[in-house]
Amino acid sequence: MRVDYGHKCYNYYGAYLKKKYEGKRVFKIVVDGGFTCPNRDGSKGYGGCSYCNVDAFTPETSRKMPTIREQIEKGIERAVNGYAAEKFIIYFQPNTNTYAPAHYLKAMYDEALSVCPEDVIGLSVGTRPDCIDAEKVALLESYAARGLDVDLEMGMESIYNETLLRINRGCTHEELEKALNLVKDSPLDICLHTVFGFPWETKEMMLRYAGEINKHPQVKFVKLHQLYIVEGSIMGVQYKRSPFKLFSIEEYADFLADFIPLLRPDIVIQRIFGISDYELLIAPDWKLKKAGIQTYLDKALESRGVSQGLNYVHSV
């Protein structure tokens, strides 16, 4: 049965937070911990995932702020002044935020959580499945034991190893399954991040992502993204040399209308699309700002009578 998280035809994160924190305005404060990725620094490859330029999804302010404390203080100030935010989730977002020894991670997370502790309700850590181990899981669980909501966000991207190879991911789908097994009975909130629209994947192939997500009951959140091409990425160079097909907003809405009903009804969707800095975006240009895209997709899903979980098939 679908969980009642607000009026959209899918469980959306804003309503989940509102319900959980009794109407308080909760904001994520993005922090750049200065990490890299194993497919950037040479341990598994160079150049990173072929669609990625971390600057495309890192707020400019956290790129320029030298210390963790300053980034958080400024981020909180902006969220309070601009959006009347009341509670905060510290979000280590750019690059691989568990790609360091556990004692180093502890020092960094501790420092972040020491800023404004009375109003920080959560820690969110974006990472890759191959940079998670039992020691790091135990470290993150220690923050959950203190009463914080700890969201471990792992990039799944595609369920196909051929795609993961082609995008220089440096990580297989089996490594994701191994990481998910490590957090099987964990108090951590697990979020999977996907990318739809690699030009060699068909719609049928992409719809199969749902079954892979659904079969792991520990997955609480998902972030659904369409492929977009940005400056500073390997795909950016490839696309400029030889452009390939990307989702139009209408096609993406059609795809989501088929995908969301397949998704387990208890999963909360943190995002249904991705967005980049406009100056870095090469394609597709949907000619709408973030709120406009959200409204367009929500209306399109609503008008098609979409309901999350309607076509969910439980498999063991």
129 and 169 Cβ atoms separated by less than 8 Å: no
Residues 53-92 that bind ligand SF4 (CB under 6 A): 54
Q: Confirm or reject binding of residue 214 to ligand SF4 (CB under 6 A).
A: no
- The bridge status of strand 219-226 relative to strand 229-230 is unpaired
Compare residues 121 and 167 and give the one whose CB is closer to ligand SF4: 167
Nearest to 140 by CA among 75, 176, 191, 71: 191
Q: Which of 28, 90, 92, 128 binds ligand SF4 (CB under 6 A)?
A: 128
Q: Which residues pair with 127 in a beta bridge?
A: 154
Q: From the CB of 197, what's the least distance to ligand SF4, in Å? A: 15
| 154 in Cβ contact with 190 (< 8 Å) | yes
Is position 48 an interface residue for ligand SF4 (rule: CB under 6 A)? yes
**What's the CA angle centered on 219, arms 214 and 223, to 5 degrees?**
90
Angle between helices 102-113 and 68-83 (to 10 degrees): 40
User: Is residue 152 close enough to count as binding ligand SF4 by CB under 6 A?
Assistant: no
Q: In whole angstroms, what is the distance from residue 29 CA to residue 47 CA?
A: 27
DSSP, collapsed to helix, strand or coil, labels residue 62 as: helix
Closest approach of Cβ 145 to ligand SF4, in Å? 28
Position 226 contacts ligand SF4 (CB under 6 A): no
Q: Which of 11, 96, 98, 308 binds ligand SF4 (CB under 6 A)?
A: 96
Site for ligand SF4 in 22-41 (CB under 6 A): 37, 39-40
Q: Which is nearer to ligand SF4, 11 or 39 (CB)?
A: 39
Q: Give the binding site for ligand SF4 (CB under 6 A).
A: 37, 39-40, 48-49, 52, 54, 95-96, 128, 155
